[in-house]
Amino acid sequence: MRKVFITIAIMLGCTLTMSAEDAKATIDIKQGSQKIHKEIYGQFAEHLGSCIYGGLWVGENSVIPNINGYRKDVFDALKNLQVPVLRWPGGCFADEYHWMDGIGPKENRPKMQNNNWGGTIEDNSFGTHEFLNLCEMLGCEPYISGNVGSGTVEELAKWVEYMTSDGDTPMAKLRRKNGRDKAWKVKFLGVGNESWGCGGNMRPEYYADLYRRYSVYCRNYDGNKLYKIASGASDYDYTWTKVLMNNIGNRMDGVSLHYYTVTGWSGSKGSATKFNDDDYYWTMGKCLGIEDVIIKHSKLMDAKDPQKKIGLLVDEWGTWWDEEPGTIAGHLYQQNALRDAFVAALSLNVFHRHTDRVRMANIAQIVNVLQSMILTDQKGTGHMVLTPTYHVFDMYKGFQEATYLPMDITCDSIAVRGDQHAKDGRKIPVLNTSAAKQTDGSLIISLSNISLDKDQTISIDLKGFAAKNITGRILTSKNATDYNDFEHPDVIKPMEFKKAKLKKNIITAEIPAKSIVVLNVK
């Protein structure tokens, strides 16, 4: 085999080191032991911009087709995605949200100002009932983010009682008065959000004490068993995790982690659709940087929890670009290019690898905010666009609850620009892959070719698997900057992939540059 390495100087200093060798991989079917928790495919819906109002919810009287107030086009698209869990009502919003303002007859609900996100006035027409009923309709678990920053222990305790008590209790009676007889099942409860920042600007020791106090009074009613999640660290803040592990320990079921693919928190974050090759490769490196962050937090957790009983929940992740010109400041509305699809695919592959610790992940956010699945407008009877990120979640559905299979792969690497957390740059494999055995016994294999200009040929040896049939889908486009919009909703959409062949138990596939391929092998 030829060993030719070509170094190509990419514009603005990024260096791509390519070899002319084909990639080789092995999947040993006997090696799978960990289940990929379906909750890794979780979503996040915050009262932010037009995520809730206009995105998920338009109200019963809207001219936009709706099912009891939920946008029908959006609902149908989400139903297809098999959303396993939905986090609500924030984010930063959660720590200023007073749930009692969002129950009872809509005309009596007080308005509120959304101080975190553009000062928008909201009418509280989407509250606890509207959220939990939506989860029931979607068939997903609700994940409630409780208010610790500006709320009280009593307020959160009563919210849990209102949602989950089936007895003759004051809050269950109030719920019945508001039209819901049977309690909902609510498993996931976040005790605060970003308590080091918008959730109260606390020190970890102080937050740990608050967690201990709040969590005592969040009770398990009538067979409902809460999975309590402490408000965890941002990115590289390992001290936060260490203090929580020491001071809370197994009083929490899980601890969160937030990691955004973002250039920095001050100044411009860059356009979602106008970027050069160097920006693209930087983005690939930055999103893959989450792996090292997960490993480091996980290692700290291992010291106190070697059996990995406490979950690490990446309950906010995704790209964060500049808001689209002409949109409302503070509403975080951004477009979604093929580059974002890669961030989704690569990040999900990382979560698969760490499924022993990563119990859940919630991409930010579901509609119209940051790296969303769906973009909507409210013109006339409304339009909807499925983003490239949506299509990745759709193509990856088979990974939910599948058994993770380690994949041994040899392929070329790309050296990309780093940042303050990777001063010497990053070196990333040109093919980013993941494999799993689905519940029906078939294999699902994802293969992302990060290169912007070089196709990759890969041969995959399926050890111990009698393969008979192979099918696949591919997501790609002419440029990494391409995206779908209301006028051109299908620029990027999955197509049938025909360049994978099966001979004996070896798959040979040609993966075009800048493409994401998902294979199903039976």
Footprint on this chain of ligand AHR (rule: CB under 6 A): 46, 90-92, 193-194, 316, 364-365, 370
Q: How far is the CB of 129 from ligand AHR (least distance, A)?
A: 23
3-state secondary structure of 333: coil
Q: Which is nearer to ligand AHR, 182 or 421 (CB)?
A: 421
User: Which DSSP state fits 308?
Assistant: -
CA dihedral 513, 287, 14, 296 (to 10 degrees): -130
Catalytic, 510? Answer no
Q: Which residues make Cβ contacts (< 8 Å) with residue 462, sequence separation at least 6?
A: 27, 29, 443, 505, 506, 507, 521
Q: Which is nearer to ligand AHR, 393 or 399 (CB)?
A: 393
Q: How far is the CB of 21 from ligand AHR (least distance, A)?
A: 41
Residue with nearest beta carbon to ligand AHR: 91
Q: Which is nearer to ligand AHR, 84 or 90 (CB)?
A: 90
For the chain, what is the largest distance between any 2 Cα atoms, rounded to a whole number of angstroms? 76
Catalytic, 46? Answer no
Q: Which is nearer to ligand AHR, 42 or 91 (CB)?
A: 91
* CB-CB contact of 213 with 153 (8 Å): yes
Closest CA to 365 of 110, 91, 70: 91
Cα distance between residue 303 and residue 492, in whole Å? 45
Q: Which residues pair with 511 in a beta bridge?
A: 456
Out of 136, 316, 324, 510, the active site residue is 316
* CB-CB contact of 245 with 302 (8 Å): no
Out of 96, 130, 194, 323, the active site residue is 194
Q: Which is nearer to ligand AHR, 33 or 201 (CB)?
A: 201
Q: Which is nearer to ligand AHR, 55 or 90 (CB)?
A: 90
Element (H, E) at 81: helix 72-81
Q: How far is the CB of 229 from ligand AHR (least distance, A)?
A: 13
Q: Which residues pair with 228 in a beta bridge?
A: 189
Q: How far is the CB of 217 from ligand AHR (least distance, A)?
A: 24
Q: Which residues pair with 404 in a beta bridge?
A: 436
Cα distance between residue 121 and residue 390, in whole Å? 29
Cα distance between residue 280 and residue 422, in whole Å? 16
* CB-CB contact of 202 with 240 (8 Å): no
Cα distance between residue 12 and residue 17, in whole Å? 15
Q: Which residues pair with 233 in a beta bridge?
A: 257
Q: Is the peptide bond before 89 cis (omega within 30 degrees of 0)?
A: yes
Q: Is the peptide bond before 91 cis (omega within 30 degrees of 0)?
A: yes
Cα distance between residue 491 and residue 493, in whole Å? 6
Q: Which is nearer to ligand AHR, 316 or 412 (CB)?
A: 316
Q: Could you tell me the end-to-end alpha-carbon distance of the chain, in angstroms, rounded to an integer?
A: 30
Catalytic residue ranges: 194, 316
